[in-house]
Amino acid sequence: MSETEKKAESVEMTGKSGKTEDKNDKLKKKKKPQKRYNLPRHKFWFAIGKPLTMAFLKIKANFKRTKNNLSKRPYMILCNHACDLDPLMVINSVPGVVHALASDHLFKHPVFGKFVAHIASPIPIVRAQMDLKSIQEAMQVRKDGGSLLIFPEANCCFSSKTSYIAPSIAKLVKKFKMPLALFNVRGSYLTKPRWSNSWRKGKTSCELVRVIEPEELAKMSVDEIYDAICDALSFNEMEYQREAQIAFKGHDLLDGAERMLFQCPKCGRLMTMKSEGDSISCTECGYKVTMDRQGFFEGDEVIFDSFDKWDDWQREQAVKLVSEGNYDASGTEPVFITPKNELYKAKRAEKNVLIGEGSLALYSDRFVFDAENAIETDEEGNAVSVGAKQFVWKFDDITKLSCVHKNRIQIAVGEKEYFEIHSKTTYRSAYAYMIYFYCLKRHAQGKPLDFFGM
């Protein structure tokens, strides 16, 4: 073949290749991103799903739907949060399609996550807070004519009363300019407390407390909106139970309660409580109480007869220990340490990756995880064991710490990196770690010790 023919063939091949690349580029440009929010599809599934979930709630939680005067239009719906069934209770109490803000853990399940996303397209949030992407997706829901469901506590409460609500929720309400519907769920805490391994059946309901129209919201300040939200969502199930006296029937009523009741009220030791069946006792001093069908504690020497009172005391003890300096402020000795933990690297709406097992210690200024056999990923994406390794997170680098599920600690470092620490035992309380972390950090910053995250 002559030199000229070779050049001609080369040009021809290049031209064909270029055309192929141009076609691929055009296909990529024409390919539209998948739309998460499809109102006709969601209307179809909600029409089928509401009667089914209503029947499920009736069987599982003896749920009674309370009549309200909400019209068929989009709302921003806010509600207190005490149980995993709360979203279903709210959705069955309002008309139309409702998109809920949900923990990104829901989307990490390969089958269930995709199923729920297809039916209702919940908006994933990480670190128990909304990021820019979450807000953009919420704005899209508003544009498409759907209602938004938000639990401002960003987590199920551990004790029986409404947890801390961040003031930023009032700014969001003001920005969205939607009718605001404020609800209370009642009975769901004792149906399935967050810390519990078992269900019990009593009575549950979802009550509409207040509706604030956009015209009224426009006249209200952000502080006034925040106060209205806190007033409407404030609820203490144990105080409600003192009058209602509803019997909740089930088995192993206190199984897992040490996840929340982490300090013995008699000897004061931390993470020595152990549950069994309907009782919980201290492994150090033997203090023991049982739980009756109304959710109150009974026994020979009951110090606190309800979850809220016991929890208030635990929090007071944490504040007292930190404010009085009854710990090693130098950071040499840990405030407490627990073995048998699992450390995971986490990503938004993706499966967690195990990176080590070992002990977790809380010091005056940092968390320390000592992995016995850490796992790293090589350049080809393979898991490689690297032996013992220590992970340290300074309080100043932690942007948020929260509890996830029953007993997981989620640590956000900076804006994009976060970890989860699971426990193989129930006595290691993520709730205790969270309370003492916020006390120690706020004390170091010279701030009041009145916020314990969630």
387: CATH? 2.30.29.30
List the single range of 84-88, 123-127, 249-253, 293-297 with lowest mean pLDDT: 123-127
**In a shared domain, residues 121 and 231:** yes
205 Cβ contact list (under 8 Å, min separation 6): 63, 64, 65, 66, 89, 185, 186, 187
Indicate if the pLDDT at residue 6 is higher than 50. no
Question: Which of the two residues, 8 and 347, has the higher pLDDT score?
Answer: 347
Q: Rounded CA gap, 408 and 425, in Å?
A: 11
Tell me the whole-structure pTM to 2 decimals. 0.84
Indicate whether 216 and 79 sit together in one domain: yes
Domain that holds residue 308: 251-323
CATH number of the domain that residue 77 is part of: 3.40.1130.10
Query: Which tens digit of pLDDT belongs to each residue from 369-404?
Result: 999 999 987 777 778 888 999 999 999 999 889 888
pLDDT of residue 183: 97
The answer on 163 and 230 residing in a single domain is: yes
> Residue 126: beta bridge partners?
129
| Domain-located, residue 6 | no
Q: Spell out the residues 6+ positions from residue 217 whose beta carbon is closer than 8 angstroms to its own.
A: 173, 174, 177, 180, 225
Does residue 26 lie in a domain region?
A: no
Residues 304 and 378 occupy one common structural domain? no
Written as six digits, the tokens of 253 are 């009523």
The residue from 199, 218, 244 where one domain ends is 244
> Does residue 215 sit in the same domain as residue 344?
no
Q: Which of 300, 323, 346 is the last residue of a domain?
A: 323
Checking if the pLDDT of 447 tops 70, the result is yes
Residue 16: inside a domain? no
Indicate the number of domains in the chain.
3
Final residue belonging to a domain, choices 244, 261, 287: 244
Beta carbons of 81 and 155 less than 8 angstroms apart:
yes
Q: Are residues 266 and 127 located together in one domain of the fold?
A: no
Mean pLDDT throughout 210-215? 97
Cα angle: 93, vertex 94, 97; to 5 degrees: 125
More reliable by pLDDT, 11 or 92: 92
Residues 343 and 395 in one domain: yes
